[in-house]
Amino acid sequence: MSTRTRPRRRRRILAAALAAALPLAGCGPAAPLVEDPYTRLIAEAQGDVPLPPGARYDSAADAPARPAETPGDAATPPPDAAEPAERVPGIVARGRIIIGVDSSLNLLGYRDGAGRLTGFEVELAREVARDIFGDPDAVDFRYVDSAERIRMLAEGRVDAVIRTMTVTGERTRRVSFSAPYLTAAAGLLTTRSSGIAGVGDLAGRRVCVAGGTTSEDTARELAPESTLLLVANWGDCLVALQQHQADALLADDFILAGIRAQDPGTVIVGERLSTEDYAVAVPLGDTGLQRQINATLERIRRDGTWRRLYDESLGRYLDPADPPAPRYAEPEEEAPEAPAGDGAGPGGDDPGEEEGA
């Protein structure tokens, strides 16, 4: 076959697929509204689409919801007058800080059109590096799934995690937290034609959540008659909605805003389900790194950097907000200092497969 005839044959195959799919459009229940009917017809012609990698369905009632989490003790060590070399000597000696983030969460941690990693949480990580080294690019990023955040810290593969991590009582027994940098409200996102107006409409429907998150716990508690689609990353939920593998997505408003910005065919519905603080997680007892990060948070609250970062990312899609107020621990509340060498984190090894900023 000549190269000139191949495109014609591909066009004939595509036309046949579309023709086969078109008669089906009037049969059975109406298909959910999608913004691109061409994409829907191709998907129907090709048959079932596989779930995102690692995703699985699970009845919300199969695993009982964990006991309602009381918010973790938000008290954290205040900044002090020490220099970074005193607070985090291991990190300073290495010359870079290693921080776990997301790379596919629009507005928070994602790659822009030029391929640069950006978003509110990514830019916050750069501000931490700026205060340690005087260079906002002295940071290496690791891409961390929701369910792996604590394990990555425990194994010393990252110095800190800035990835929509809610402060809870259970987590404060496994990691230490900075002061909060965002206060989130859980909510529900769905397609415009789904007929879902709130959590009361989720019985028998498929709800997408990232596994191992507080959103999974909330879904099991508030929608026990639903089926959960558990995914590794929130971006997979948007794909699942577009491929009709999920009917709704339950997550915090910052996550929902990023997904809503990517697909105008989606809408946020219902009331706020809960509020919770995001904070930077560090290895348990690493008060030196806590103080260092809290010093950065204190600075960006005071000099306007926090508001600039918010306005450039989340503020384009959400109401104006103020930075959360810190609650610093009294001296007797503070955890004991980590053993000598705290702040060294993963050590001086090669940063690994993820690129630096």
Residue-wise pLDDT tens digits, 59-116: 988 765 555 455 555 689 999 999 999 999 999 999 999 999 998 889 999 999 899 9
Q: Chain-wide mean pLDDT for the chain?
A: 81
Q: Are 133 and 174 in contact (CB under 8 A)?
A: no
All structural domains of the chain, each given as residue ranges with its CATH number in brackets, are 56-61+185-275 (3.40.190.10), 84-183+278-330 (3.40.190.10)
What's the pLDDT score for residue 104?
A: 86
Q: Over the stretch 196-234, which tens digit does the pLDDT of each residue have? A: 999 999 999 999 998 888 889 889 999 999 999 999 888
- Give the range among 33-42, 253-262, 341-350 with minimum mean pLDDT: 33-42
pTM, 2 dp: 0.74
Which residue has better confidence, 265 or 133?
133
Q: What is the DSSP string of 110-154?
A: EE-TTS-EESHHHHHHHHHHHHHHS-TT-EEEEE--GGGHHHHHH
Give the Cα separation of 171 and 154 in Å (integer). 12
pLDDT at 38: 32
Give the separation between CA 331 and CA 266, rounded to whole angstroms: 48
Q: What is the pLDDT of residue 98?
A: 98
> Distances from the Cα of 207 to the Cαs of 49, 56, 104, 242, 301, in angstroms?
17, 11, 20, 13, 36
Other C-beta atoms closer than 10 Å to the C-beta of 114 total: 6
The stretch 192-198 carries a mean pLDDT of: 93
**Would you say residue 16 has pLDDT above 70?**
no
Distance between CA 351 and CA 140 in Å, rounded? 7
- How high is the pLDDT of residue 15? 43
Q: Is the per-residue pLDDT at 351 higher than 70?
A: no
Determine the length of the chain. 357
- Positive or negative, the CA dihedral 175, 179, 182, 186 is positive
What are 132-154's pLDDT values in tens digits?
Answer: 999 999 999 999 887 789 999 99
* Rounded Cα–Cα distance for residues 59 and 120 (Å): 34
